[in-house]
Structure 1
Amino acid sequence: MPALTLLAAIAVVAFEQFVQWKYGPVGIVGLLLLTVGLKSNNSAVSSTGAVVLALLVLRTAL
């Protein structure tokens, strides 16, 4: 069980580093809003975070 927790923590940190490298500080803010909204069951905050991340992905795809 501790190994699974450690692997999950490493995956989260790696994903956060990737988002920061690819999308910058705005990506981290979007990810933070999405995470906080999901954990607190606040659909407005999680939707805002999802929209921020979606706009960043669309901007880099164009």
Structure 2
Amino acid sequence: MPLLTFAVEEFIHWRFGLMGVISLGLLSFGLRARNATAAGAGSIMLALLLHSASG
């Protein structure tokens, strides 16, 4: 499981840069801490990054 997590993080960093890593960290922190604000902000940031990369 840690290898899979590392691989996902490296892919996000390679594809979306520092903002991708920050948004993924914010999303995972929000989910672990059961903080809806942090999880929502992280997921919105990832969605915006995905949208800008596809267009």
TM-score normalised according to structure 2 size: 0.99
For 1:52, the equivalent position in structure 2 comes to 45
2:32 matches 1:39 = yes
Unaligned 5+ residue runs, structure 2? none
For 1:18, the equivalent position in structure 2 comes to 11
Letter in 2 for 1:23: F
Letter in 1 for 2:22: V
Q: RMSD of the alignment, in Å?
A: 0.3
Q: Distance in 2 between matches of 1:52 and 1:29?
A: 9
TM-score normalised according to structure 1 size: 0.88
> Following superposition, which runs of at least 4 residues in structure 1 exceed 4 angstroms of deviation?
none
